[in-house]
Amino acid sequence: MPVTAAASQHRQKLKLQTFDCTGFFETFWAHVVTCAEYNRWRTADQLAHLKAALTGDAGQVLWYTDPVAVDSLSKLTTLLRSRFIGSRQADKM
């Protein structure tokens, strides 16, 4: 049976998992990118979903950082990468 345009628009959304810095940031970031592409999020949506997904130590970044430093997707991802990748993340575990 052919799929109609209306049926293809009713696909299930991917749910973004949370990040508390106990896992690897790059793995989480790949998940964010996948969800954003599949769900067709605009940049503002991506920023809102990313902020909402941060919990624990990762979520504290939003509380202890100047709001101007996390008001765009690129600024926030740069900050998260600087804090939670590679040896820096290993030191926090």
Q: Would residue 50 count as lying in a domain?
A: yes
Q: Would residue 54 count as lying in a domain?
A: yes
Amino acid at 15: K
Q: Would residue 9 count as lying in a domain?
A: no
Q: Would residue 13 count as lying in a domain?
A: no
- What's the pLDDT at 83? 92
| pTM more than 0.85 | no
Helices (H), 3-85: 5-8, 25-39, 43-53, 56-64, 73-84
Q: Is the dihedral of CA 40, 43, 45, 49 positive or negative?
A: positive
Determine the structural domain holding residue 70 and report its residue range.
Answer: 20-92
Phi, psi of 55 (to 5 degrees): -130, 170
Mean pLDDT of the chain: 88
- What's the pLDDT at 10? 76
